[in-house]
Amino acid sequence: MYGLKTDWLEEPTPRYYTLGDYEGETARWCTGCGDHAVLTAVQRVCKEEQLPPDKTVFVSGIGCSSRFPHYMKTYGFHGLHGRALPVACGIRSRRPDLHIFVVTGDGDCCSIGTAHWIHAVHYNMNLVVMLFDNNCYGLTKNQTSPTSPKGSKSNTHPRGAALDPLNPVQITLAITNASFVARTVDWNPPHLFATLQAAHRHKGLSFVQIIQRCPHYKAGVHDPLQSDPSQLLLMTHPDGIQLDDSIKGIFKNQREHDPSDMDAARALARDPEGVSIGLFYRNESGERYDEYTALGIATSRDEKIAALKAELSLYQI
Whether 301 is in a domain gets the answer no
Task: Answer yes or no: is pLDDT of 138 > 60.
Answer: yes
Give 275 or 140, the one with higher predicted confidence: 275
Task: Answer yes or no: is pLDDT of 113 > 60.
Answer: yes
pLDDT score for 295:
87
Whether 172 is in a domain gets the answer yes
The model's pLDDT over 32-51, given as tens digits with 9 standing for 90+, comes to: 999 999 999 999 999 999 99
Whether 78 is in a domain gets the answer yes
Q: Which of 75, 135, 77 is nearest to 111 (CA)?
A: 135
Domain region containing 166: 13-290
Contact between 132 and 106 under an 8 Å Cβ cutoff? The reply is yes
pLDDT score for 97:
96
pLDDT score for 54:
97
Task: Answer yes or no: is pLDDT of 13 > 80.
Answer: no
What is the percentage of the chain residues whose pLDDT exceeds 70?
97
Average pLDDT over residues 68-76: 97
Task: Answer yes or no: is pLDDT of 3 > 70.
Answer: no
**Average pLDDT for the chain:** 93
Give 103 or 4, the one with higher predicted confidence: 103
Average pLDDT over residues 99-121: 96
Entry pTM: 0.92
Residue 143 maps to which CATH number? 3.40.50.970
pLDDT score for 272:
85
pLDDT score for 316:
83
Task: Answer yes or no: is pLDDT of 1 > 50.
Answer: no
pLDDT score for 274:
86
How would DSSP label each residue in 21-54?
GTB-SPP-SPTT-THHHHHHHHHHHHHHHT--GG
Give 10 or 74, the one with higher predicted confidence: 74
pLDDT score for 254:
96
Task: Answer yes or no: is pLDDT of 276 > 90.
Answer: yes
Q: Which of 184, 244, 229 is nearest to 209 (CA)?
A: 184
pLDDT score for 220:
79
Whether 46 is in a domain gets the answer yes
Q: Which of 5, 67, 39 is nearest to 212 (CA)?
A: 39
Whether 138 is in a domain gets the answer yes
Whether 7 is in a domain gets the answer no
Give 274 or 235, the one with higher predicted confidence: 235
Give 299 or 168, the one with higher predicted confidence: 168
Number of compact structural domains in the chain = 1
* H or E segment and range at residue 130: strand 127-133
Task: Answer yes or no: is pLDDT of 5 > 60.
Answer: no
40 — phi, psi (to 5°)?
A: -60, -45
pLDDT score for 70:
97
Whether 36 is in a domain gets the answer yes
Q: Could you give the CA distance from residue 204 to residue 49 in angstroms, rounded to a whole number?
A: 17
Whether 310 is in a domain gets the answer no
Task: Answer yes or no: is pLDDT of 8 > 80.
Answer: no
